[in-house]
Amino acid sequence: MINEELIDENYRFPLEYKGEMMCDNFSMKTTPRKWTEKEYEVIDILMKKGFNNRQIMICLDRSIESINNKVRRRKKLKCVYNDSHRDEKYMYNKKFVEYLKPQSVLDVYSGMNSVYKNYNINTIISNDEKIHFDTDFHMKSHKLVKMLYSRGDTYDLVDLDPFGSAYDCFEYSIRMAQKGLIITLGELGHKRFRRVDYVNKKYGISKYEDFNTKTIVNHIIEYAKKFNKTLLPIYVCDWNNIARVYFKII
């Protein structure tokens, strides 16, 4: 992810981080450009600083219509992810730790401080891409789990709590997890926009009516069987456009 230091003194977005241009479409006023995760983070930074949409438009060199749409969605997603379910999530984290009694935890998307530091756990490995966070690693999550697996690591509990989808981390996280696996299904946020294409290749979902927590959980259970792991959902927290599933490995 980009951090605040990488934006210049005029808050302009570096050219090298811009998404590539998509195919020309003469029916459109401008040629569309792919959005990158770094651009999304810059929107979050500038929103926190109180920048209005037109100022953000100038920084990112985007159209005002595009910025309006993205800012509106970011505000909704931030609210859904951070506010309405936070206390309930922490409650279920505590219940699951007490139930599972893990002695080692891999917190793949830990944020500023790993919540597992609040529990009596012998080994906690934490990761966040933001380099100013106090974590053990600052790596892209899918690269981290591949690296840890390749060196032979195992953990009683692996927690995948991304802003978005953790799908790219599934294989190595499932392989390393010994007692439990927690996955936050951030891709459900796309359900409100009827973006079935976002989950089609990952979960084989082709119909909007199948775009739900149950379908995705069943897919993860079947996926884990390829690695001789049986996942049993202990808690399924299904909030508004996001879910968090606590699996026991049996």
Q: Indicate the average pLDDT of the chain.
A: 87
Q: How far apart are CA 106 and CA 124, in angstroms?
A: 6
Question: CA 47, 189, 105, 178: dihedral to nearest 10 degrees?
Answer: -160
Which pLDDT score is estimated for 206?
96
Q: How far apart are CA 127 and CA 112, in angstroms?
A: 9
Which pLDDT score is estimated for 30?
54
Contacts of 146 (CB under 8 A, 6+ apart): 172
Nearest C-alpha neighbor of 146 from the set 106, 110, 179: 106
Q: How far apart are CA 131 and CA 245, in angstroms?
A: 28
Q: pLDDT (tens digit, 9 = 90+) per residue, 178-200?
A: 999 999 999 998 888 888 999 99
Q: Is the model's pLDDT at 132 over the cut of 90?
A: no
86-249 carries CATH number 3.40.50.150: yes
Task: List the chain domain ranges.
Answer: 4-82, 86-249
The two beta strands, 231-239 and 242-249, are antiparallel
Which pLDDT score is estimated for 44?
80
Confidence of residue 2 (pLDDT cuts 50, 70, 90): very low
Answer yes or no: are the C-beta atoms of 189 and 80 closer than 8 Å.
yes
Which pLDDT score is estimated for 26?
44
Which pLDDT score is estimated for 43?
83
Which pLDDT score is estimated for 133?
85
Element (H, E) at 92: helix 86-100
Which pLDDT score is estimated for 46?
80
Which pLDDT score is estimated for 229?
98
Q: pLDDT (tens digit, 9 = 90+) per residue, 58-110?
A: 888 889 998 998 888 776 665 545 556 788 999 999 999 999 999 999 999 99
- Phi, psi (rounded to 5 degrees) for 181: -145, 130
Average pLDDT estimate for 145-168: 96
Q: How far apart are CA 72 and CA 147, in angstroms?
A: 37
Q: pLDDT (tens digit, 9 = 90+) per residue, 203-229?
A: 999 999 999 999 999 999 999 999 999
Residue type, 123: T
Coil, strand or helix at 240: coil
Which pLDDT score is estimated for 28?
47
Overall residue count recorded for the chain in this entry: 250
pLDDT higher at 114 or 56: 114
Q: To 5 degrees, how large is the angle CA 194–CA 88–CA 41?
A: 55
Indicate if the alpha-carbon torsion angle 127, 71, 89, 230 is positive or negative.
Answer: negative
| DSSP code for 12 | P
Q: pLDDT (tens digit, 9 = 90+) per residue, 3-31?
A: 455 455 566 676 666 777 665 554 445 55
Rounded to two decimals, what is the model's pTM? Answer: 0.71
Nearest C-alpha neighbor of 127 from the set 117, 147, 112: 112
Confidence of residue 235 (pLDDT cuts 50, 70, 90): very high
Which pLDDT score is estimated for 203?
97
Question: CA 160, 162, 168, 174: dihedral to nearest 10 degrees?
Answer: 10
Which pLDDT score is estimated for 226?
97
Q: How far apart are CA 78 and CA 52, in angstroms?
A: 17
